[in-house]
Amino acid sequence: MLVESVKMLVSSSGFTFLEVLACLLVVGLGLASVVAMVYFGIVNSQKAQAASTAMITAMSVAVDPTPYLSADIAASWSTSGSYDMDDLTGNLSEKAQGYINGYLVVRSETSTPADIIASDITPGGGTVVYARSALVKVDVYTLLNGAIVASYNTRFVRQRSSL
C-alpha cells in the first residue's frame, strides 16, 4: 500500500506544459496592465502640469502685455497695433505674441467707443478720455502641434494717470 501511494505521488507531481503557458499568460496580462496604468498616470500628470503652467502663463500675460523676459526669448515677443485712449471713433486693438514657458502665447486687447467710462471735453473743444474698459484675451498654444492648451479672457479698466 505504501509503495502504491509513493508511485501515485511521483507520477502525479509537476505541471503540464499547458498549465505553465496558462500561468505565464495570466502573469503577462497582469504585468502589461500594471505598466499601462502607470503610463496612463504619467501622461495624465504631464497634461495636468502643462495645463496649469499654461493657465498661469495666460493670466500673467493678461495683466502685463510686456512681460520681463530673458534676452534670448525677448526677441520673439512682438507687439502690433496702437492703443490711443482718446480715440472715440473706432475699435482700439493691440496684439502681442511670443514664446513664454515653452508655449506660443497670443494676447489681444480690444476696446470700443461703448467701453468709455469717463471722458470730458477740453477747453480747446477736444475730448479726453479718463477711463475705458478693455477686453483682454490670451490664448496659449503648444509648440509641437499648435493645439490650444489654455485660454483666458478678462476685462480691465484702463485709467489715465495724468494729462
**What would the pLDDT profile of 73-126 be if each residue is shown by its tens digit?**
777 888 887 777 777 777 888 899 998 888 999 999 998 888 888 888 888 878
The sign of the CA dihedral 52, 58, 64, 69 is positive
Q: Taking the complete model, does pTM exceed 0.75, yes or no?
A: no
Secondary structure element (H or E) that encloses residue 24, with its range: helix 17-63
Grid coordinates given for 73: 526669448
Contact 138, 96 (CB under 8 A): no
What confidence score (pLDDT) does residue 65 get? 80
For the beta carbon of residue 57, count every other beta carbon within 10 angstroms: 21
pLDDT digits (tens, 9 = 90+) for 117-147: 888 888 887 888 888 899 999 999 998 888 9
Report domain extents, the chain: 39-159
Within 10 angstroms of residue 139's Cβ, the number of other Cβ atoms is 20
Distance CA 61, CA 109 (A): 11
Q: Assign residue 126 a region: left if phi > 0, alpha if psi is -120 to 50, beta otherwise?
A: beta
